[in-house]
Amino acid sequence: MIKKLFCLFIVLSLIFPSVFTKSYASEKPYLKSDSAILMDARTGQILYEKQMDKVKYPASITKIATIALSFKYGNPDDKIVISKDDYISDLSATHIALIEGEQVTLRDMQYAALLMSANDACNAIARHIAGSQDAFIEKMNEFAKSAGAVSTNFTNPHGLPDENHYTTAHDMALITREAIKNPDFLKIMGTVTYEMPANNKKPSRPFANQDAMLKSFDPNYYKDAVGGKLGWTEESRHTKVTVATRNNRTLIAVVMDSIDPKAKYEDTRKLFDYGFDEFREYTISPQNVKSKQIDVTDGPNVIGTLNMYLSIPAKIALHRSVSSKDIEYKFPDITFIDKSQQDNCPIEMEIYLPDYAEEFMNNSPMKIKLDTSYTPLLSTVTEKPKKEQIQWLALQIGEISLISLGVTAAIIVTFLFFVFIRNFTILCRKKKHQKQLAAKRKKQMETMRIIERQTSPYKMRTTSTTMVPPRTQPKSQVHTKTPPYPKNHNRPSTQNKANMASKQNQKNISQNRNHRIS
């Protein structure tokens, strides 16, 4: 019997493993690429990383920063006249064969750079935006630093090999996150085909996106992908940046230093499947986060209090193995701040995940920006000019008065509401009682009418001849009664007729007696 039960357990555990063991559909994906990252585009949260801060050559994914800057400083309808400075010295590099004097638009160059990875188009954009490539490169590095890419250095707008031209997977994800905030950029990044119109030098030219994950007829197609950019040089090997959206969640996947074209597609697919399937969106409610107060100082004096709090719900991504109860929230470890830094100091709350979460996701603390409000100390009022004192006191009194009026109005409205409900209830009960009394009286009146009809003499006279007389009279004395004639009627009644007949008979009898005697 024990053997049978053991065999049954083994069979069921093979069929339904999740019933008997706590297992997950997939752990961290194994990637062939040397460096990779998966980032939530909305929050910047890192869901997966593999040597994400290792410095690598970016190749043509550099063009993401170039096109992002072209939207920031240029207009897509701008006209550009191609010069010899825009040519590419290395003819083996990708280009669209721009020639001197050719008139194009900035929009055409943006499509050429992202879809065809045209290096000459990038040179034309750089010269148009900044006047020269060197000036444009300065803007590129400033843009990278502002996006948080601290391990990046650009030396050209296209990504051709240069030992001083480098970045990291983490930095490229941050740059892409900043770039896709512009919907026009993401539109071009996700375009499959585009036709550049004819110009003064050349006929129209068709462009096709090189990213196979965007093409529905390709085996590497990924239905949730909305944009992508490829890169390759012998020094960098294969690089790829892809953006995908599912269920209102947008993820950015970056793979660098992939061994072959197939590996970069496989790794990107694994990252997106992991991010969309294994993670859920969790909302942090402001009620669950306590506020914190720190002092605001002016030299040695404390002049007020800075309140730090979460005003609106914040969303983060959690692996399905991580419980939201284990999340810890930590405010900045500061006790005071100078008034000169009050407006420019970013106040961020750090979110720490439990230690066991490191097995399935990046465990570095996440940061959420907090809202702040300043409350001056009452003692500082005397230090202000008299006019400011009066204004401040007036505002304070006005706020207190408005609050008092609001509370008083709320109390009065509540009281009147309850009084109305009470009076309405009493009125309803009164009407109901009156209806009951009226119905009772009506019933009594009907009962009295019935009794009066049954006991009335006129009723006795108008009854039929078969009506049973009162019990005081014997049955033999029951007489039928004929209704009397009207007063004005000349016809004698039946009783009068009988009396007259009786008198006539007595008269006849007396006449006969007299006749016999005579």
- Total length of the chain: 518
The single-letter code of the amino acid at 384 is K
The single-letter code of the amino acid at 376 is P
| Tokens of residue 354, six digits | 């439990």
Best CA proximity match to 238, nearest among 159, 155, 157, 163: 159
Residues with Cβ within 8 Å of 240's Cβ and at least 6 positions away in sequence, in order, are: 61, 211, 228, 229, 230, 231, 253, 254, 255, 258, 264, 265, 268
Angle at alpha carbon of residue 58, lines to 57 and 61, rounded to 5°: 170
Q: 63, 229, 240, 270: which is the annotated catalytic residue?
A: 63
Q: Is 139 a catalytic residue?
A: no
Do 315 and 284 form a contact (C-beta atoms < 8 A)?
A: yes
**What CA–CA distance (Å, rounded) separates 210 from 232?**
12
Do 227 and 190 form a contact (C-beta atoms < 8 A)?
A: yes
Residues with Cβ within 8 Å of 399's Cβ and at least 6 positions away in sequence, in order, are: none
DSSP characters over 488-514? T--SPPHHHHHHHHHHHHHHHHHHHHH
* Beta-ladder partners of 367: 350
Which residue has 């950015």 as its token pair? Answer: 252
Do 211 and 228 form a contact (C-beta atoms < 8 A)?
A: yes
Q: Is 325 a catalytic residue?
A: no
Do 285 and 313 form a contact (C-beta atoms < 8 A)?
A: yes
| Tokens of residue 247, six digits | 């269920």
Angle at alpha carbon of residue 360, lines to 356 and 361, rounded to 5°: 100
**What CA–CA distance (Å, rounded) separates 331 from 307?**
11
Angle at alpha carbon of residue 262, lines to 261 and 264, rounded to 5°: 70
Q: 28, 35, 50, 60: which is the annotated catalytic residue?
A: 60
In this structure, how many other beta carbons lie within 10 angstroms of the beta carbon of residue 505?
Answer: 10
Q: Is 117 a catalytic residue?
A: yes
**What CA–CA distance (Å, rounded) separates 214 from 227?**
7
**What CA–CA distance (Å, rounded) separates 175 from 169?**
10
The single-letter code of the amino acid at 401 is S
Q: 35, 117, 236, 258: which is the annotated catalytic residue?
A: 117
* Beta-ladder partners of 307: 293, 373
| Tokens of residue 320, six digits | 């399905």
Query: Which residues are annotated as catalytic?
Result: 60, 63, 117
